[in-house]
Amino acid sequence: MLTDWCVIRALKAAGWPVELAQYSGAQAAFVSEVSAYVRFRALDLRELEVEARVSAAVERVYELAGGHPYRLAKSEFTAVQSGFLMALGRTHNSTESPDRLRAELSRCEAHLDDLRRPVTREARIAGRLTAERYWQTVAACRVPEGFFVRVPARSAIAQMRARFDLWWELSLRSLRRVLQETNPSYCRLLQALPAIRAESARPGQKFVLAALVHDWREAHAERFGLFKDIHFPVLEQRAFAKFDEVNAWFDHEAPGYKRDDAVRETAVRALYGGLADVTSDYRPVHWDN
C-alpha cells in the first residue's frame, strides 16, 4: 500500500502519455508493476544487503580479537556443518551418522561462542554502526542512478522508458521526490503492528503496546533502518488515510483491481497491448501533466 501510494503520487505529478489514455486500466497495471519493483529494490534487496554488511562487520571483530585460533574454529565448524547437511540429505553417498555429526556440530558451535563471548558487545556495536551508515546513505538518495536499469527488457517499465523517454525522466524525478519524503521501511512496522497489538492484549502480558513496539523496533533496527523512536499511532492513522486514497485511485482507474484477479489480468493486457500499439509509432510524445 505504501509503495503504491508513492508511485501514484509521482504519477499524478508527472501525468500519463496521451497515447495510452484510451487503454482502460493501463495506469493501474503500470503503478502495480513499478510499485512491486520499488518494493524489491528499495526494501527486499536493501534489507538483504545491510544484513550481509552487518554480518561481515561483526565477523571482522571476532576474527581480529580471536586471531588464528578463531579462524581454525570457524573452519572446523563450517566443515562439520557441511558434513552434517550432507548426512541429513544422504548426498554424495555419505556414511557419517547424523546423530554423531549433530553432537559434533553442537560442540563446535559452543567453542565458537566461547571465543566470541569476550567481544560480543564490541561486535554488536560494529554491526549497528555499519547499519546506521548504510541507511544514512540510502536516506540521502532512495532512488539512485541505475535504480531501474536491471528491469527485464520486455517489462512495461523498460518499454515506457524507451518509448516515452522525456515523460519517463519527469516521472523518475517525481518518484525520487516522493520517496525522499517517505521512508518505505515504515511499512515493515505497519505490517508488524497487528501481531504486536494482539500480543499486547494477551492475558498476563506485562508490557503495554508502546513498549512492545519499542522492543520490536530495537530488534529489527539494523535490518530495517528504523533507529529512531516512531510515533506509531500517527503513522498508523496516516497509513489508513493512504489506504483509502490508494483504493479510491485504483477503483477509479480499474474498478475491482485490488479484489479481482480477472480485472488485474485485463488491466495488464491493456497496458501491454497499448504499448505494443504505440511502440512503432514515432510521432511526438505528449502527456497530460
Contact present, 277 and 7 (Cβ < 8 Å): no
The domain ranges of the chain are 2-279
Nearest to 50 by CA among 130, 122, 124: 130
Extract the C-alpha cell encoding 274: 497499448
- The pLDDT-based confidence of 200 (bands split at 50, 70, 90) is very high
Mean pLDDT (the chain) is 92
- The pLDDT-based confidence of 188 (bands split at 50, 70, 90) is very high
As a whole number, mean pLDDT of residues 153-177 equals 94
Extract the C-alpha cell encoding 160: 515506457
Secondary structure class of 62 (helix, strand, coil): helix
The CA distance from 86 to 114, in Å, is 26
- The pLDDT-based confidence of 94 (bands split at 50, 70, 90) is low
- The pLDDT-based confidence of 286 (bands split at 50, 70, 90) is confident
Residue owning grid cell 533496527: 221
